[in-house]
Structure 1
Amino acid sequence: MGKGLNGKRIAIGGSRKTEEITRLIEKQGGTAVVRSLQGTVYLAEDQIEPDVRTFAGQKADWVIFTTGIGTETLLSVSEKIGLKEEFLAAVHEAKIGCRGYKTYAALKKLGITPHASDEDGTTRGLIRSLERFDFKDKKVMIQLHGEKAPVLTQFLEKNGAEVFPVLPYQHILPERETVDKLLGELLNGEVDAVCFTTAIQVRSLFDYAKEKGSTKELQQAFEKQVLAAAVGKVTAEAIRDEGVKRVLAPDIERMGAMIIELSRYYESLTLS
């Protein structure tokens, strides 16, 4: 196998397993630079207790679960505050939306079959499944995972729903100096590709670019000179949501597969 990343400078947007990703990039002949776009994640039990109490008492017409661990955390918190039965009763009375196979598995353990679910693991896939339902004046609780879901929220609100988000896990923002450094490198053509391993990393970079008034320049950089590589469908979807059409993502959602796909991409350019 060739080394398709020879002479390429690849930025790593993650904060976990950066040494492992660096080795994979170097094995393909590239140079890796860590530019973490993701702060630490923490369990926000105290913050969501009031939300769980409100839901258990007032209920909702729809409940949309987006991650397996988030689903399990809500159940755990409801048990901790003595409202597990009320929480489950409210869930069973509502129509259920579900994104992702882990979420589906978590719901299956509870004996719940979703009324709407994605076919491809993405938020847009879930939205396609929700389009046949009427959300006018419906109260919808969305379980999120550390970040807002603007596309899903906008879809629901546009169709008349009252959206009630709950975030069991929350992210601490990345260091501004790091994001600023990467943005400068991207706009100056000093990086050939960025490896994104979660959607929150994409949001962090583009939110900072918006703050600096550099959104169009960043979009152009990704379309013309920098390749955006995503570890999987959800992350790739987040990149496209920010107006970037040129996205590389492997069929197998693994970091190693992402680096191999990146290497093959550059190899194909040299052969063409």
Structure 2
Amino acid sequence: MNKVAKPLSGKTIVIAGSRKLDEMSSLIQKQGGTAIVRSLQGVTTFKEQEMEQELRLFIENQPEWVIFTTGIGAKALFDAADRLGIKDAFVQTVQQAKIAIRGYKTYNFLKTQELAPDIRDSDGTMKGLEEQLESVTFTKEQIWIQLHGEPAPDLVQFLEAKGASSVHTLLPYLNIEPEAETLQQLRKDIQQSQIDAICFTTAVQVRYLFKDASKNGYEDELRSALNQQVLAVSVGKVTSEALTQAGITRIVAPENERMGAMIIEMAKYYEEQK
């Protein structure tokens, strides 16, 4: 009696993240695949000294709006204020402002602080947040935005165009680029058709991959590979948005934005291709 092949049998899957690697590798193996790690996340470092100055300025300025875009970044600010002994003043400053947020993790964290947003994104993306802010007037108002690792020039420009007197960004974490050797190895994996899929768990991984491709003159080749031979697998809407912006049209993503669900959705995709 022949054994039924598992959905990922014969497939080599790259994990581009840096968290839950054992868990994801195990799930891929259970579905019959081979997992290899090519972390495009780089290192994320907390900017402790800069944050002290920023938080004190935030309290001093008493802005009309504060925008939180990630749960982990929002928590980092509250924790830093607590360590500095200024949490009460920080929380009071947030309370007196109007609050806009992106993401369910951000919402869940603010709930633990007994804070509720005035504006919430429509679909978990920055674009969805902008859509919800479209009807708001920011004339002569100060806005502070918490980001995570990267600037958001489009959002800043959007708010300035709507009349904000100033838009100040807080980046408690700073992303450092992944190892050159990792990028070089993944480039080789793709060019030599040694992999079948890449699992992206954050948008920054997509951006680093395409930044490297642009720098090394194989951006069109990479885009073509991801649209035809190498399956782009995304953990959720924000990561899918980054892939779409990079010109990727074939993306597999789960409804439930979790890493485990992403692996199951990928397995389901391959099962349906048989």
- CA displacement at 1:219 relative to structure 2: 2.0
- Aligned-residue RMSD, C-alpha: 2.3
CA 1:119/1:217 → structure 2, altered by over 3 Å: closer, same or farther?
A: same
TM-score of the superposition, structure 2-length normalised?
0.87
Provide the residue aligned with 1:253 in structure 2.
Answer: 257
SS at match of 2:195: coil
For structure 1, list consecutive stretches of 5 or more residues without a partner in the other structure: none
Cα distance, 1:135–1:180 mapped onto 2, change above 3 Å: farther
- TM-score, normalising length: structure 1: 0.88
Corresponding residue for residue 117 of structure 2 = 114
Q: 1:197 to 1:82 in 2, by over 3 A?
A: same
Q: Deviations over 1:205-247 (max 9, x none)?
A: 1222232233333222211221110122222222223232221
Aligned residues of 1:57 and 1:86 also touching (Cα < 8 A): no
In the other structure, the counterpart of 1:219 is: 223
Letter in 2 for 1:76: D
Residues 122 and 131 in structure 2, CA contact (< 8 A), matched pair in contact too: no
1:174 is aligned to 2:178: yes
Matched, 1:35 2:38: yes
- Mapped pair 1:142 → 2:145: yes
Match of 1:164 in 2: 168
Structure 2 stretches lacking a partner, 5+ long: none
Q: Which of 11, 20, 25 matches 1:22?
A: 25
Residues 136 and 245 (structure 1 numbering): CA distance in 2 closer, same or farther, change over 3 Å?
farther
Counterpart in the other structure of 2:244:
240
Quote the residue 2:193 is aligned against: 189
Aligned to 1:6: 9
Q: Does 1:79 align with 2:51?
A: no
For residues 61 and 252 of structure 2, what CA distance do their matches in structure 1 show? Answer: 44
**Pair 180,129 (structure 1): closer, same or farther in 2 beyond 3 Å:** same
Q: Which whole-Å deviations, capped at 9, do the CAs of 1:161-216 have from their partners, x for residues lacking one?
A: 43311122233321111012212322443321100112222222122223223333
Other-structure match for 1:55: 58
Mapped to 2, the partners of 1:239 and 1:150 lie a distance apart of 18
SS of structure 2 residue aligned to 1:20: helix
Answer yes or no: is 1:123 the counterpart of 2:115: no
- What is the rounded CA distance, in whole Å, between the counterparts of 1:216 and 1:154 in structure 2? 29
- How far apart are residue 122 of structure 1 and its match? 2.3
Equivalent pair of 1:140/1:164 in contact (CA under 8 Å): yes
Aligned partner of residue 93 in structure 2, secondary structure:
helix
User: Hey, what's the Cα distance between the residues in 2 that align with 1:9 and 1:79?
Assistant: 45
Instruction: Using the TM superposition, give the Cα deviation of residue 136 of structure 1 relative to its aligned residue in structure 2, in angstroms.
Output: 4.9
The 2-side partners of 1:23 and 1:110 are apart by 36
* Percent identity (aligned): 49
Q: Which amino acid aligns with 1:205?
A: L
